[in-house]
């Protein structure tokens, strides 16, 4: 069984005038949420083989915090500009190109696309994925290239989720 963990980047800083969107860093809450959510995801039993992330600073920073928590090395952390500004089909194309040896993958991206993909693959209405929200999906496909049908929704969590 393959597990796909879709993670929206943590809260970013808006106070820097003139900074391009792709260059916005995490704010203090973003760093704190990324640390706590990575620990919660790890505590749930997720053991990723690697991660894929958008190259936007806020997404890459979130991904690197998760990488540290899970003990992933640089060969297990892949960054692609294809996830920044991607529509659903572009996002799915990236997912279908994931390394075949990776059974469990963390993928970091942006709204509205990451919410739409989570809803589409999860077969349910998760709705709007909050910043640093995580969705864990499971599928019985043998290769990521076959991804496209409904997956089983295993977990949906976000920083303000206290249940």
The model's confidence at residue 14, banded by pLDDT at 50, 70 and 90, is confident
Residues belonging to the chain: 163
For residue range 94-152, what is the model confidence (pLDDT) as tens digits? Answer: 999 999 999 999 999 999 999 999 999 998 778 899 999 999 999 999 999 999 887 99
Show me where the domains of the chain are located.
Answer: 2-157
Residue 147 — φ and ψ, nearest 5°?
Answer: -60, 135
Q: For tokens 């499971």, name the residue.
A: 138
CA distance readout (Å), 130 to 86, 160, 161: 18, 9, 10
Class of the CATH-defined domain 2-157: alpha beta
- What is the overall mean pLDDT for the chain? 95
Q: In degrees, to the nearest 5, what angle opens at C-alpha 19 toward C-alphas 131 and 61? A: 40
Q: What is the pTM of this model?
A: 0.96
Give the pairing of strands 134-139 and 2-8: antiparallel
Strand partners, 139: 2
Given a cut of 70, is residue 163 above it in pLDDT?
no
- C-beta atoms surrounding 16 within 10 Å: 11
User: Among 53, 56, 50, 55, which Cα is nearest to 73's?
Assistant: 50
């Amino acid at each position: 069984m393959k597990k796909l963990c879709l993670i929206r980047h943590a809260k970013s800083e808006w106070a820097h005038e003139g900074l391009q969107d792709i260059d916005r860093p995490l704010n203090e809450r973003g760093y704190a949420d990324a640390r706590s959510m990575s620990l919660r995801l790890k505590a749930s039993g997720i053991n990723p083989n690697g991660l894929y992330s958008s190259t936007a600073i806020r997404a890459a920073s979130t991904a690197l915090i998760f990488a540290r928590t899970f003990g992933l090395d640089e060969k297990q952390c892949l960054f692609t500009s294809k996830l920044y500004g991607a529509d659903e089909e572009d996002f799915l194309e990236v997912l279908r190109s994931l390394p075949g040896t990776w059974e469990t993958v963390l993928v970091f991206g942006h709204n509205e696309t990451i919410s739409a993909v989570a809803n589409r693959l999860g077969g349910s209405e998760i709705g709007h994925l909050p910043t640093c929200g995580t969705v864990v999906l499971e599928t019985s496909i043998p290769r990521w290239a076959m991804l496209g049908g409904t997956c089983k929704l295993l977990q949906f969590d976000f920083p303000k989720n206290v249940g």
